[in-house]
Amino acid sequence: MKFTGNTILITGGAQGIGYAMAEYLSECGNTIIICDLNEDKLHEVKGIHSDFITYTCDVSSYESREEFAAKLIEEHPEMNFLINNAGIQRNIDLTEGTRDLAIGDREIEINLRGPIYMTGLLLPLLKKNEGSKILNVCSGLAFAGDRFPEMPVYCATKAGIHAYTRTERVQFKPLGIRVMEIIPPMVNTDLNPVHKAMLVAQDPKYLDPNVVPDPDVYVRRTFAKLEEGEDEVKY
């Protein structure tokens, strides 16, 4: 099943895996809507893809989510495909007690609460439009916290997304909404500048088959599996 003829919202779609998905799905004949907090990146994307519809939205903010969802429902009532991609990744030293936990709160809001509430806010569109789909972006780190212990909150939020997606799939099946999940490995993006630098420098920790240097390669391989009917795609 080729993904074509949809109106797709990609959160965090101005960079990284989100942007690679936007480009690929645009090639497949879909209308692309992206939201992002980084306005400079949104302007860059618009300069390259004038047909992309762009919005500024902070998915961690209750007010921003509510305002954006209301605008989207009004301006794009045909939207039938939600990709919950927005996420941040931070290094947190748990041995320092509460010193680093404030930045962990933002990870929880963006990575976990954001997708849950964006889905709920946009459910009226997904319920009424034909062929509706949800794609949640998880991470291989949901299952590898012991290997990358410097990112404990990120790993926890992605483990939460994995559990949430599985229950969401069961609840939404009677509504005719297909719920999918992709579980990326380490990919060369700006998600975590520290780890990107280590990847670029070919640190031995990152030289294994699970590391993908190009988000475009990852997206094309992964969507090939989604198009074959898989709903949970590991790499």
Q: What six digits make up the tokens of 206?
A: 């990152």
Dihedral of CA atoms 71, 119, 38, 41 in degrees, nearest 10, equals: -90
Can you tell me whether residue 215 is helix, strand or coil?
A: helix
> CA-CA distance, 235 to 225, in Å (whole number)?
10
Can you tell me whether residue 75 is helix, strand or coil?
A: helix
- 162-170's contacts with Cβ under 8 Å and 24+ in sequence apart are 162/138, 164/112, 164/115, 164/116, 164/136, 165/136, 165/138, 165/232, 168/119, 168/134, 168/136, 169/231
Which of 149, 222, 158, 218 lies closest to 187 in space, CA to CA?
A: 218
Which of 13, 38, 12 lies closest to 24 in space, CA to CA?
A: 13
- 235 is annotated as an active-site residue: no
Looking at residue 185, its amino acid is P
- Give residues with Cβ within 8 angstroms of 105, minimum separation 6: none
> CA-CA distance, 13 to 20, in Å (whole number)?
8
Of the candidates 154, 164, 206, 218, the residue annotated as catalytic is 154
Catalytic residue IDs: 154
